[in-house]
């Protein structure tokens, strides 16, 4: 099927732009671009500070539901501007997810290199730990670590950094072992280059694309994890805020002010859906075996 | 599956559980003195000594480790620090609710997902297919806490049709089970669709059609069993999500199950209870994965042959 499509492309009418970039993919790109812009420019975009309380203007509905024009998305139980909180919540959520994913990628990649370089006992130990991590849902591991170490922003980012290291470790180990048997790595080693040089200058650039793909796969998972834990009140805690924290705190006001919980929920939903639509689309384009479907 | 492979898997599983047990023991001892956290800094030395003895913390570390492992092997996970009841009792009391919710959600997701996946595959690229696949994407990208809150908002608060908290009656089960099941329905629908599409073009299905086998029988009897293999794989991979999901959903709908017990234990930093739940979960996961492997062998005769040769 893939072949026939490849050949027929030149005969048929040229592929329309719409077919190459479906509307949903464009929308997803716009959403993610917006999230990125909010993450970078939160300080300029937010009309108020996310902690500023105004007890006289509590639980005001969004402007489009008859609220006040100066609080476009309404206010929460302490009279804080929801639009501003949402903007900063996006920044904190993305920050935690970026930090967590990066730490996990770093730990996993380093351990993968160690396993592939030393083999033997070190490899066994690292792979055994990877098995342990994979045998439990990470939510459980994260909850246990939180029970053990408690709250705090940096601690929480560090705990999120435990997510997915085992995937990076397995990936890296596999690719490095393969690379070590390939011509270029043995050639550089034979020329007398130290192992560090071979790995950093020659092997790492070769496996970087695999690692980056894994990074983009882990990132949305960490966002979901952060929002879930913050929703439970165990992740990002007040006075800081995140999308999950806003949603969890707003849950108490569902009857009187549903927008406090629903607006951050929509933000989370749009983010995760955009990432999964985009991920599907990229995978369909990259994987020729899926072309026929 | 050959019994030897099963044995290898079982050994690996046991090793994993033992590692988790050891790691939690280390964590428990690294995390500082739980007694001080329990009695506060105002307590006298005698009170602290009494509690140390009660929890067995006055013995050398290796003796503690041995009795810890031995205790777990006999189902003794120690006392909950905040409640002072055996952790296993607290878990046993909460477990039926979690199982009921989890199983209902899982079966719901499986039936709905596989059904929708088949329908989508049979109507490939038609509006029905697009509709089902949109539902699938929606299903697995909606975070379950958000879906749960939206369902409460609509069905409990707005239309007042269903209760939003607790688990007293069968009606209480509906919203949490739908919340938890939607994610699985979405995932299963996608995988069933692609597995069915793969199989529907195979020669044996075409041959069955040429022979005049009616379509329902062709789909359910010839195609579906062959498509079941990737579906079973996904079931195994999704068990962890079921556990994680029920932690959230039980909190959203105030179901007093193991998930809520865990969240409360983490909130009150009752690590003794947390580690008990952690170890129980890991044992359950190992057993469940073994069961999935067994099902695998059961539905795929090739697997049996290929593996017993190697």
The pLDDT tens digits of the residues spanning A201-215 come to 888 887 888 888 888
Contacts of B270 in chain A (CB under 8 A): 147
Contacts of B200 in chain A (CB under 8 A): none
Nearest beta carbon to residue A255 from set B137, B157, B269 = B157
Q: What is the pLDDT of residues B24-78, one digit of tens each?
A: 888 877 766 666 666 666 777 777 777 777 767 777 788 888 888 888 888 777 7
Across the interface, whether the CB atoms of B240 and A137 are under 8 A apart is answered: yes
Residue A6 has a pLDDT of: 40
Residue A9 has a pLDDT of: 40
Nearest beta carbon to residue A234 from set B15, B157, B267 = B267
Whether the Cβ atoms of residue A236 and residue A153 lie closer than 8 Å to each other = yes
Q: What is the mean pLDDT of chain A?
A: 82
Residue B309 pLDDT > 70: no
Torsional sign, CA B16, B291, B297, B115: negative
Contacts of B282 in chain A (CB under 8 A): 135-136
Peptide bond into A106 cis (omega under 30): no
Residue A116 pLDDT > 70: yes
Average pLDDT over every residue of A76-83: 83
Nearest beta carbon to residue A228 from set B149, B248, B277 = B248
B5 token code pair: 């492979």
Q: Which residues contact A246 (CB under 8 A, 6 or more apart)?
A: A76, A85, A86, A89, A260, A261, A263, A264
The C-alpha angle A56, A59, A65, rounded to 5 degrees, equals: 120
Task: Compare all CA atoms of chain A with the CA of B282 and give the residue at the minimum distance.
Answer: A136
Q: Of B200, B147, B213, which is closest to residue B178 (Cα–Cα)?
A: B147
- Contact status of A247 with chain B (Cβ, < 8 Å): yes
Q: Most B CBs within 10 Å: which of A148, A243, A259, as the mutation test of the B interface?
A: A148
Q: What is the pLDDT of residues A59-72, one digit of tens each?
A: 778 878 777 777 77
Contact residues, A window 142-161, toward B, CB-based 8 Å cutoff: 143-144, 146-150
Q: What is the mean pLDDT of chain B?
A: 84
Q: Of B77, B82, B41, B31, which is closest to residue B56 (Cα–Cα)?
A: B77
DSSP for residue B231: H
- Bridge partners for B86 per DSSP: B79
- Bridge partners for A75 per DSSP: A81
Contacts of A143 in chain B (CB under 8 A): 247, 262-263, 266, 274
Whether the Cβ atoms of residue A257 and residue A250 lie closer than 8 Å to each other = yes
- Contact status of A130 with chain B (Cβ, < 8 Å): no
Distance CA A152, CA A146 (A): 10
Q: What is the pLDDT of residues A15-52, one digit of tens each?
A: 444 456 788 889 999 999 999 999 998 888 888 888 77
ipTM of the complex in this document? 0.85
Contacts of B16 in chain A (CB under 8 A): 131-132, 135
- Contact status of A276 with chain B (Cβ, < 8 Å): yes
Residue A256 pLDDT > 70: yes
Residue A11 has a pLDDT of: 40
Whether the Cβ atoms of residue A18 and residue A257 lie closer than 8 Å to each other = no
Distance CA B114, CA B109 (A): 8
Residue A95 has a pLDDT of: 92
Rounded to two decimals, the pTM is 0.85
- Contact status of A273 with chain B (Cβ, < 8 Å): yes
Of the listed ranges B54-68, B100-114, B140-154, B190-204, the one predicted with least confidence: B54-68
- Contact status of A140 with chain B (Cβ, < 8 Å): yes
Tell me the C-alpha to C-alpha distance, in Å, between residue A120 and each of A74, A117, B53, B309.
60, 9, 42, 28
Q: CB contacts < 8 Å between A and B, how many?
A: 122
DSSP for residue A140: H
Name the one residue in this structure whose structure tokens are 């790691």: B23
Nearest beta carbon to residue A247 from set B16, B145, B277 = B145
CA distance A190 to chain B (A): 37
Q: What is the phi-psi region of residue A22: left when phi exceeds 0, alpha when psi lies from -120 to 50, beta otherwise?
A: beta
Residue A10 has a pLDDT of: 40
Residue B295 has a pLDDT of: 82
Across the interface, whether the CB atoms of B149 and A254 are under 8 A apart is answered: yes
Contacts of A232 in chain B (CB under 8 A): 247-248, 251, 263
Across the interface, whether the CB atoms of A258 and B270 are under 8 A apart is answered: no
Residue B89 pLDDT > 60: yes
Q: Which residues contact A291 (CB under 8 A, 6 or more apart)?
A: A1, A2, A5, A284
Helix locations, B123-152, DSSP H: 127-141, 144-151
Across the interface, whether the CB atoms of B137 and A224 are under 8 A apart is answered: no
Average pLDDT over every residue of B167-171: 79
């Amino acid at each position: 099927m893939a072949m026939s499509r490849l050949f027929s492309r030149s005969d048929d009418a040229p592929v329309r732009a719409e077919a190459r970039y479906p509307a949903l993919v464009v929308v997803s790109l716009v959403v993610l671009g917006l999230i990125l812009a909010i993450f970078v420019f939160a300080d300029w975009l937010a009309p108020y500070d996310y902690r500023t309380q105004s007890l006289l203007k509590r639980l005001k509905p969004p402007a489009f539901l008859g609220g006040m024009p100066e609080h476009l998305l309404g206010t929460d139980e302490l009279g804080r501007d929801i639009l501003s909180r949402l903007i900063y919540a996006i920044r904190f959520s993305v920050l935690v997810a970026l930090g967590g994913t990066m730490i996990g990628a770093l730990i996993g990649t380093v351990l993968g290199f160690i396993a592939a370089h030393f083999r033997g006992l070190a490899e066994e130990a690292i792979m055994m730990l990877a098995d342990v991590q994979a045998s439990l849902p990470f939510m459980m591991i994260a909850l246990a670590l939180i029970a053990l170490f408690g709250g705090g922003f940096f601690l929480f980012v560090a705990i999120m950094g435990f997510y997915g290291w085992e995937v990076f470790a397995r990936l890296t180990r596999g690719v490095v072992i393969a690379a070590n048997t390939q011509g270029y790595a043995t050639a550089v080693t034979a020329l007398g280059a130290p192992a560090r040089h071979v790995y950093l200058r020659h092997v790492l650039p070769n496996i970087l694309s695999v690692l980056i793909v894994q990074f983009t796969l882990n990132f949305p998972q960490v966002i979901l994890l952060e929002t879930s834990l913050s929703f439970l009140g165990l992740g990002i805690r007040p006075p800081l805020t995140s999308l999950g924290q806003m949603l969890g705190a707003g849950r108490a006001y569902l009857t009187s002010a549903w927008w406090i919980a629903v607006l951050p929920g929509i933000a989370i939903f749009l983010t995760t859906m955009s990432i999964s639509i985009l991920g599907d689309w990229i995978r369909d384009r990259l994987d020729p075996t899926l072309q026929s479907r | 599956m050959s019994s030897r492979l099963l044995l290898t898997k079982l050994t690996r599983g046991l090793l994993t559980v033992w590692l988790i047990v050891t790691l939690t023991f280390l964590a428990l001892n690294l995390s500082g003195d739980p007694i001080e956290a329990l009695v506060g800094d105002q307590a006298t030395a005698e009170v602290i000594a009494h509690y140390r003895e009660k929890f067995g913390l006055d013995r050398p570390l290796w003796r503690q480790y041995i009795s810890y492992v031995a205790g777990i092997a006999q189902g003794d996970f120690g006392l909950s620090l905040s409640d002072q009841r055996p952790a296993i009792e607290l878990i046993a009391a909460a477990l039926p609710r979690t199982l009921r919710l989890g199983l209902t959600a899982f079966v719901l997701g499986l039936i709905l997902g596989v059904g929708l996946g088949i329908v989508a595959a049979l109507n490939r690229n038609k509006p029905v297919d697009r509709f089902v696949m949109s539902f699938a994407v929606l299903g697995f990208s909606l975070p379950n806490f958000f879906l749960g809150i939206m369902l409460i908002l609509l069905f409990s608060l707005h239309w007042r049709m269903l209760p939003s908290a607790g688990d007293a009656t069968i009606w209480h089960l509906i919203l949490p089970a739908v919340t938890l099941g939607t994610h699985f329905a979405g995932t299963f629908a996608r995988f069933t669709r692609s597995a069915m599409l793969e199989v529907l073009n195979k020669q044996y299905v075409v041959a069955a059609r040429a022979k005049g086998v009616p379509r329902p029988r062709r789909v359910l009897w010839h195609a579906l069993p062959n498509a079941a293999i990737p579906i079973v794989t996904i079931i195994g991979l999704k068990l962890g999500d079921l556990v994680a999901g029920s932690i959230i959903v039980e909190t959203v709908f105030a179901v007093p199950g193991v998930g809520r017990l865990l969240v409360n234990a983490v909130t009150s930093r009752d690590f003794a209870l947390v580690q008990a739940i952690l170890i129980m979960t890991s044992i359950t996961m190992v057993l469940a994965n073994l069961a999935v492997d067994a099902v695998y062998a059961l539905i795929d005769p090739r697997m049996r042959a290929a593996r017993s040769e190697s």
